Amino acid sequence: MDWQHVADELGTGRSAKQCREHYLYSLQPNMIKGQWTQQEEYIIAREHSMSGSQWSRIASCLPGRTDNAVKNTFYAATRSKARNKSYSILWLYAKQLQAGKTPAAALSKAVEVSAHGISVSGGRWQTCAHEQT
């Protein structure tokens, strides 16, 4: 596609590169926007544990998600300070990394905690209420 022609026709002042990136990251019909599934978050954690911050490689495992969206979701999980709720496996993985665990150990712990319905409340690990019945 001639992105310079697209930019000129739009007349918005966007460069050819900006038009291309806007299409790739926002307008493609197969792009998935909105909530990430638990499966998608697990895939991000699993792939990150094996290959690090290779966002394009990780995104290739998630059809409809861009490398930029994967990167933003990962870093949002690392910055999240949510309390008193069940946490996603990606959040658990990120917190284990921040605690100094190796990526493989962080993934293992996140999977273990997630599988047992564990959440964090007041800074302590505890079983979720729905798992206590």
pLDDT tens-digit map of 35-44: 899 899 999 9
Percent share of the chain, pLDDT over 90: 45
Distances (CA, A) of 43 to 68, 83, 87, 101, 132: 15, 23, 16, 19, 28
Domain segments of the chain: what residues? 1-30, 34-131
How high is the pLDDT of residue 57? 96
CA quadruple 76, 77, 80, 82: dihedral sign: positive
Q: What is the pLDDT of residues 7-45, one digit of tens each?
A: 898 888 989 998 888 887 677 777 888 889 989 999 999
Identify whether the C-beta of residue 97 lies closer than 8 Å to the C-beta of residue 106.
Answer: yes
Tokens for 42, please give them.
């697990």
CA quadruple 50, 52, 53, 54: dihedral sign: negative
HSE-CB for 42 with a 13 A CA cutoff:
10
How high is the pLDDT of residue 50? 95
How high is the pLDDT of residue 116? 66
Nearby residues of 127 by Cβ (< 8 Å), 6 or more positions away: 116, 117, 118, 119
Superfamily of domain 34-131: Homeodomain-like (1.10.10.60)
pTM recorded for the entire structure: 0.70
Q: At what angle do helices 89-98 and 67-79 cross, to 10 degrees?
A: 60
**Alpha-carbon dihedral 115, 117, 120, 122, rounded to 10 degrees:** -160
Q: Sorting pLDDT into bands at 50, 70 and 90, what band is 113? A: confident
- Residue 19, phi-psi category: left (phi > 0), alpha (psi -120 to 50), beta (remainder): alpha
How high is the pLDDT of residue 120? 44
Please state the rounded mean pLDDT for residues 98-127.
72
